[in-house]
Amino acid sequence: MGRKRETIAGTYQTSTGEVEVRVDPHGGYEIFVNHVPSSHISDDPLRLEYEYMRWIVALCPLIEQRFDVDKLRVTHLGGGACSLPRYFVAKYPRSRNSVVELDSELTQLVRQWFQLPAAPQLKIRAGEARAVADTFVPQSRDVVIRDVFAQAVTPDNLCELAFYRQIHASLSDGGLYIANCGDHKDLKGAKAELRGMAEVFAHLAVIADPSMLKGRRYGNIILVGSDKPVPVLPEITRELLQGGVPAQMKNDEWVRAFMVG
């Protein structure tokens, strides 16, 4: 994987602050951006250490059911070490993945350190996620994954109705908007986002572990929006139950009760 393990570990100054690379004794590296865990990357592109990333890719059976994966177009708002885009390239070698990452120096370091696929499989663009999203052409992508944080909070401009409308317009028929939302146990942020998404998308779903959905702790909750139903497929359920932190997927009626509760 790129340079030798011992030569990559360390702390680096970038355009948005500080990036630290730590060697994972079990293999690979963990990337911290301004002291916040951002990514884990290893020699195996199909190995995802972060639970929320595994929850996102658990949706792959739905993606495969809905799209021709040889022509799949995925946009990742937020890149870090590009472990999630790299996964999609490995799983769907003919797919086209575009990444928008604010820290231009981080994108250069990631390309330097790790053997990332080249364009057009994986194209990295330095820029602010909302500003770039506002340039998206209608129906130009099939899946948009938002994984953007400033420290541990999603920027406000990526939680606005105008943003959801822009993403909705950029998606193909049946396209999926998938957002990683970090929230406190009151779940006010996730509920507010879902209410905004409900103004734009006909169908909604969420994925999280049961204790998170019951408002017992801080953690990640995956929000999904689409104009077509987002069914809880058996393959998705099985995949969500296999991780170190088993998760559940809920959709339409449950989500709409949850977001106003």
**pLDDT at position 6, please?**
53
Q: Is residue 34 a part of any domain in this protein?
A: no
Report pLDDT digits (tens) over 32-60.
988 888 899 999 999 999 999 999 999 99
**Among 197, 47, 207, 70, CA closest to 142:** 70
Residue 177 structural domain: 45-260
Q: Is residue 26 a part of any domain in this protein?
A: no
Q: Over 70: is that where the pLDDT of 232 sits?
A: yes
Q: How many structural domains compose the chain?
A: 1
Q: Whole-number mean pLDDT of the chain?
A: 93
Q: Is residue 39 a part of any domain in this protein?
A: no
**209: its two tokens:** 């572990």
Q: Is residue 226 a part of any domain in this protein?
A: yes
**Among 132, 74, 73, 68, CA closest to 100:** 132
Q: Over 80: is that where the pLDDT of 182 sits?
A: yes
| Calpha distance 65→212 (Å, rounded) | 28
CATH of the domain at 255: 3.40.50.150
Q: Over 70: is that where the pLDDT of 1 sits?
A: no
- Own/partner contacts of 44-50, CB < 8 Å, gap of 24 or more, are 45/83, 45/86, 45/87, 45/89, 45/90, 46/87, 46/90, 46/91, 48/83, 48/84, 48/87, 49/24, 50/83
More confident position, 261 or 250: 250
